[in-house]
Amino acid sequence: MASVASKLYSDDVSLLVLLLDTNPFFWDTTSTTFSQFLSHVLAFLNAVLGLNQLNQVVVIATGYSSCDYVYDSSLTSNVSSESRGTGGIPALFGSLLEKLEDFISRDAELSQGDEHVDRIASSLLSGSLSMALCYIQRIFRTGHLHPQPRILCLQGSPDGPEQYVAVMNSIFSAQRLMVPIDSCYIGTQNSAFLQQASYITGGVHHAPKQLGGLFQFLTTIFATDLHTRGFVQLPKPVGVDFRASCFCHKKTIDMGYVCSVCLSIFCEHHKKCSTCGSVFGQSKLDGANASSSVNDRKRKAPDS
Amino acid sequence: MSDWQVKYKSSLKDRGTEGILKLREGILLFVPNDPTSDSKLKVLTPNIKSQKYTKEGSKKPAWLNLSNKQGDSHIFEFQNYQDMHACRALITKALAKCEEEQPKKPAAVLTSAEQLSIADLELRFKVLRENIELQRLHKEFVETKVLTEDEFWATRKKLLGKDSIRKSKQQVGLKSMMVSGIKPSTDGRTNRVTFNLTSEIIFQIFAEKPAVRQAFINYVPSKMTEKDFWTKYFRAEYLYSTKNTAVAAAEAAEDEELAVFLKPDEILAQEARQKIRRVDPTLDMEADQGDDYTHLMDHGIQRDGTMDVVEPQNGQFRRSLLQDLNRHAAVVLEGRNIDVDSENTRSVAEALARVKQVSKADGETTKDANQERLARMSRLAEMEDLQAPQNFPLAPLSIKDPRDYFESQQGNVVNEPRGAGTLKRNVHEAYGSLKESILEIRTKGLRDPLIKPEVAFEVFRSLTQTISTAKNIIGKNPRESFLDRLPKSTRDEVLHHWTSIQELLKHFWSSYPITTTYLHTKVGKLKDAMSNSYSQLEAMKESVQSELRHQLSLLVRPMQQALDAAFQHYDADLQRRTAKSARGSAGEANGSV
């Protein structure tokens, strides 16, 4: 969690990029409705914006077949003429909701084709992560004065192993840019991607049990800016799930074969690596290709 | 022990006074047994210049002869060779220690088989000085006699060897100054001309003038002595410098040996001609023509700076500056290709001649080489537009489609249903309900109250609990290691134990299987040291605070396990040996237990 302090105009100004999970198949199956969830999230965004005058918030919706930016607090066109400000909605978020609705309609159209595909109901996390990183990169290039960016991933859908490579690439880019990825997992199963993302980039991962108190979770844990995290204790997971998914079948595996040239992971013996094209030779042990195995590590022991 | 019972003799013939020789921090002290005798001796170790000793095999008693800077020598007769060697080793060590402060030429090289030279000891001290950890290990083991010096350094040859290899690899080049051409000193009063001759100058002369070298090999010592040879050579040099070609010609006609020095160097000319023959014919050699020895001497600056035109018949007695400089430069560039650095001129000459022979043999053109040259010449001389088109075999360019990479990742998605419900999802429904939610929130606004106080309180409580328990197990920082939380002294101790146990175990396991008594004693000593370490680890575990104790014991456990394995092996081996020797009959020769 290295802070890029020299670039700030104040220590605690932050840019929060929120990746909102709008996978309808997931929201179908939860007890909390999407509207309740949204209200928690909107209040949280308001709180973040209230912490510092210069804070910025960007919301990217992670859909089933597409992703899109739905809100950017630095744009001046946020207060649209249509927002009525009734019923307690902050006028600020009128456009957010509008754009979200449009996005969902578009996503629905895109998903028409996949009517009966038996895919795991995962959202496009890799897409939204990439979009977030692009936005952050643009912010970096505006000069020295910019807020400290971080990414918050609000995810409920399970991981899609077919996105493993893309997600890992995004995670390493974020690590390079020194942008922490916080993750709040509200689903039922464990998300290995999010755990790894937070571990590698130095962010915070938490999986709250009660969704009724989501707002409290969000403001306690995820609203702290990066400078403050130096002296605030945030919860950390006891272990990190480091399992990878194989490149050939996209299954999550514990042990497999690794290509020694490009480090791609396979679950069964191949003659040739499909990523880099290198031919595997015969090893001494019964014809398996010469490689190590990927183990399931519950905890990565830090080097002293 | 640094005290020995010796007899001190001030010279070889002296009977010797008995006394005690003590070696302390930098001082060698001899106290005679007889208090009335006055041969008490105190020698500071820096003053000791060299030490000589008698060989073990000889029938002489064990003498150690120390000579100090003032030139006196002190002879000590030891009771046995062991003492003498021990004393000598200590003195050597002390000497080496002093020498790092004042570098002087190292003392006489000790020739015993297992002794080290002063340079080696110096190297060891240097390595130890630079590496504190190693120094600590060394102190712990070698000075408590658990391991000997040799064993300690046996596995660390890399550390020692690096420096010495580095030193010896560098070759010294030749000077670019023409020492062979330095003018002699002339004494006007006595009309004497004095030339100086050192081995460096001799080497240069032999390297630059092969004719002189050849003459040396031919004439000395058969026809004349070396001194005569050099006298003649310098006479020739002198004649050159006097610009008096008539005299030179006259003397050359008289003395054939002198003539050798006065003529142009035939060997060099031949070499040059050969070299020119081998040069690629497409190269323009016009400029080179002036450099070699086949050139006519009708212009150019003479060796002494004048530019006179010389009569043709005496032309051979002149040399041009350019020729000399070029020849010298060529020799310097070739470098010092012989290793003979002896005072013996003849061997230098012969070595140089040998080298020249070898290079000449290599350079001789064989038939194949000639063919190759001709082929190369014809290739260079061809005209491009008259050539036939050449179709070289081309390797086809293979640029992969980048989409392959991305698509291959999604290509083989297995079409099998995932657990937890293979419901055929109705896309419409799902999206519909989502849209409804959004509509709802737009109309109704945010929930009020957003969150119930009890829920919020519950969240706080559980978070606090999570954080506090995690802190106890992991520590403040996910990347902080447990070692950082220990107090510094404990941490250093743990790390030191780790390295020392590794060292002990390395030596322990390498001593098995035990074949000699030396190994047996070594293993015994190692085992004692290991048990020592084990008890120290236990003590350390007790001393640490209670909350760190568990983690510390986890950390220390692999070390203890390794030690346990070693102990087990030792005990099993011991049992086996006792059983074997007990079973063995009395006639068994080597029941080494």
Judge contact between B470 and A238, C-beta under 8 A: yes
CA-based nearest distance A143→chain B, Å: 31
What H or E segment, with its residue span, contains residue A286? none
More reliable by pLDDT, A22 or B290: A22
Contact flag A101-B435 (C-beta cutoff 8 Å): yes
Judge contact between A48 and A223, C-beta under 8 A: yes
Q: What pTM was estimated for this model as a whole?
A: 0.47
Using a 10 angstrom Cβ sphere, with 0-12 exposed, 13-18 middle and 19 or more buried, the burial of residue B396 is exposed
Give the bridge partners for A185, in sequence order: A155
**Rounded to 10 degrees, what is the CA torsion of A42, A43, A44, A47?**
130
Contact flag A28-B433 (C-beta cutoff 8 Å): yes
Which tens digit of pLDDT belongs to each residue from A179-236? Answer: 999 999 998 878 888 999 999 999 999 998 878 889 999 999 999 988 888 888 888 7
Contact flag A87-B424 (C-beta cutoff 8 Å): no
Using a 10 angstrom Cβ sphere, with 0-12 exposed, 13-18 middle and 19 or more buried, the burial of residue A245 is buried
**Distance, CA of B540 to CA of B124 (rounded, Å):** 32
How confident is the model at residue B482, as a pLDDT?
Answer: 66
Option in B424, B428, B437 nearest A33 (CB): B437
The residue of chain B with its CA nearest to that of A161 is: B413
The residue of chain B with its CA nearest to that of A220 is: B460
Distances (CA, A) of B55 to A6, A302, B7: 73, 59, 18
The residue of chain B with its CA nearest to that of A83 is: B442
Judge contact between A70 and A60, C-beta under 8 A: yes
How confident is the model at residue A27, as a pLDDT?
Answer: 87
Number of Cβ within a 10 Å radius of residue B323: 20
Contact flag B427-A86 (C-beta cutoff 8 Å): no
Judge contact between A201 and A175, C-beta under 8 A: yes
How confident is the model at residue B338, as a pLDDT?
Answer: 62
Helix ranges (DSSP H) in A30-85 = 34-51
**Distance, CA of A62 to CA of A60 (rounded, Å):** 6
The residue of A26, A83, A117, A216 whose CB has the most chain B CBs within 10 angstroms, and thus the best one to mutate to test that interface, is A216
Contact flag B412-A248 (C-beta cutoff 8 Å): yes
* Non-local CB neighbours of B328 within 8 Å, separated by 6+ positions: B176, B178, B180, B204, B208
> Residue-wise pLDDT tens for chain B (593 aa)?
467 777 777 666 666 677 777 777 667 777 777 766 666 677 666 666 677 777 666 566 777 777 766 667 777 777 777 777 777 777 777 776 766 554 433 333 344 434 567 777 777 777 777 777 777 777 777 766 667 777 777 767 666 665 555 556 666 777 777 766 667 777 777 777 777 777 777 777 777 787 778 888 877 777 777 788 888 888 877 777 676 667 777 777 777 777 777 777 777 777 777 777 777 666 776 766 655 554 555 555 555 555 555 554 555 555 667 777 778 888 888 776 665 555 566 777 777 777 777 766 665 556 677 788 778 777 777 777 777 777 788 887 877 777 766 666 555 454 443 333 334 457 788 888 888 888 888 888 777 778 888 889 999 998 888 888 777 665 555 455 666 777 788 888 888 888 888 888 888 888 877 778 888 888 888 888 888 888 888 888 888 777 777 778 878 888 888 888 888 888 888 888 888 888 875 555 554 44
The residue of B405, B418, B425 whose CB has the most chain A CBs within 10 angstroms, and thus the best one to mutate to test that interface, is B425
Q: Which residue has the tokens 């290039």?
A: A141
CA-based nearest distance A238→chain B, Å: 7
**Distance, CA of A266 to CA of A165 (rounded, Å):** 12
The residue of A30, A38, A270 whose CB has the most chain B CBs within 10 angstroms, and thus the best one to mutate to test that interface, is A38
In degrees, rounded to 5, the angle at the alpha carbon of residue A119 between the alpha carbons of residues A117 and A120 is: 150
CA A93 to chain centre: 22
A82 has a chain B CB within 8 A of its CB? no
**Which residues on A lie below 8 Å from B440 (Cβ)?**
35
Coil/strand/helix, residue B200 = helix
Lowest mean pLDDT among A137-141, A286-290, B318-322, B406-410: A286-290
Coil/strand/helix, residue A224 = coil
Q: Which residue has the tokens 């799902």?
A: B430
Among A residues 121-160, those touching chain B with beta carbons less than 8 Å apart? 121
Coil/strand/helix, residue B8 = strand
How confident is the model at residue B180, as a pLDDT?
Answer: 65
Number of Cβ within a 10 Å radius of residue A266: 22
Per the structure block, which two tokens stand in for A129?
């992560």
Burial A205-222 (b: 16+ CB within 10 A, else e): bbbbeebbbbbbbbbbbb
Contact flag B478-A86 (C-beta cutoff 8 Å): no
**Which residues on B lie below 8 Å from A220 (Cβ)?**
459-460, 463
Per the structure block, which two tokens stand in for B100?
């790092």
Number of Cβ within a 10 Å radius of residue A25: 22
**Which residues on A lie below 8 Å from B402 (Cβ)?**
none
User: From edge to edge, which strands make up the β-sheet containing A148-155?
Assistant: A67-72, A56-62, A14-21, A148-155, A181-185, A205-206
Contact flag A38-B481 (C-beta cutoff 8 Å): no
Option in B430, B451, B482 nearest A216 (CB): B451
How confident is the model at residue B593, as a pLDDT?
Answer: 45
Residue B19's φ and ψ, nearest 5 degrees, are: -175, -165
CA-based nearest distance A213→chain B, Å: 6
Per the structure block, which two tokens stand in for B291?
């450099």
The residue of chain B with its CA nearest to that of A164 is: B409
DSSP label at residue B312: G
Per the structure block, which two tokens stand in for B553?
């014991």
In degrees, rounded to 5, the angle at the alpha carbon of residue B372 between the alpha carbons of residues B366 and B375 is: 145
Contact flag A304-B409 (C-beta cutoff 8 Å): no
**β strands within chain A, DSSP E:** 14-21, 56-62, 67-72, 148-155, 181-185, 205-206, 244-245, 252-253, 257-258, 265-266
**φ/ψ bin of B300: left (φ > 0), alpha (ψ from -120 to 50), beta (otherwise):** left
Among A residues 172-201, those touching chain B with beta carbons less than 8 Å apart? 189, 199
Q: Helix, strand, coil % (nearest 5) of chain A?
A: 40, 15, 45
Contact flag B460-A216 (C-beta cutoff 8 Å): yes
Coil/strand/helix, residue A69 = strand
A171 pLDDT band (50/70/90 cuts)?
very high
Give the bridge partners for B43, in sequence order: B28
Distances (CA, A) of A277 to A291, B325, B405, B410, B528: 16, 61, 10, 17, 57
The residue of B427, B468, B494 whose CB has the most chain A CBs within 10 angstroms, and thus the best one to mutate to test that interface, is B427
CA-based nearest distance A146→chain B, Å: 27
Contact flag B442-A97 (C-beta cutoff 8 Å): yes
**Which residues on B lie below 8 Å from A107 (Cβ)?**
431
Name the amino acid, one letter, at A237. Answer: P
Contact flag B444-A303 (C-beta cutoff 8 Å): no
Give the bridge partners for A252, in sequence order: A245
CA-based nearest distance A54→chain B, Å: 24
More reliable by pLDDT, A175 or B75: A175
**Distance, CA of A64 to CA of A61 (rounded, Å):** 10
**φ/ψ bin of A253: left (φ > 0), alpha (ψ from -120 to 50), beta (otherwise):** beta
A108 has a chain B CB within 8 A of its CB? yes
* Non-local CB neighbours of B362 within 8 Å, separated by 6+ positions: none
Helix ranges (DSSP H) in B210-315 = 210-219, 226-241, 245-254, 256-262, 266-278, 286-289
Judge contact between B29 and B21, C-beta under 8 A: yes
Per the structure block, which two tokens stand in for A125?
């996390």
Q: Within 13 A of B328's CA, how many CA atoms are on the CB side?
A: 17
Option in A24, A210, A250 nearest B413 (CB): A250
